[in-house]
Amino acid sequence: MLDKIKDAFTSKQLICTNCGREIEEGERFTANITMPSEKDMLVSRLDNAIARTANSVFCERCQ
């Protein structure tokens, strides 16, 4: 349980689905996310929520 709480507050790497490059802080990107149900709505850092739920993530070059 403690590990899950720690994970919610640490940064996750966002990797471009197309080219595999890591998306850096301050860089623009596009994420395709399916709207979760109210029960499954994530509350955490934005990068964690995107890393766990995004169907795809594209860096600015691959958009």
Whole-structure pTM value? 0.72
> Which residue do the tokens 């109210």 mark?
38
Contacts of 15 (CB under 8 A, 6+ apart): 21, 22, 23, 57
Q: Tell me the pLDDT tens digit for each residue of 1-35.
A: 667 666 656 778 899 999 999 999 999 999 999 88
Q: What are the extents of the domains in the chain?
A: 2-59
Q: Tell me the pLDDT tens digit for each residue of 32-59.
A: 998 888 877 777 788 888 888 899 999 9
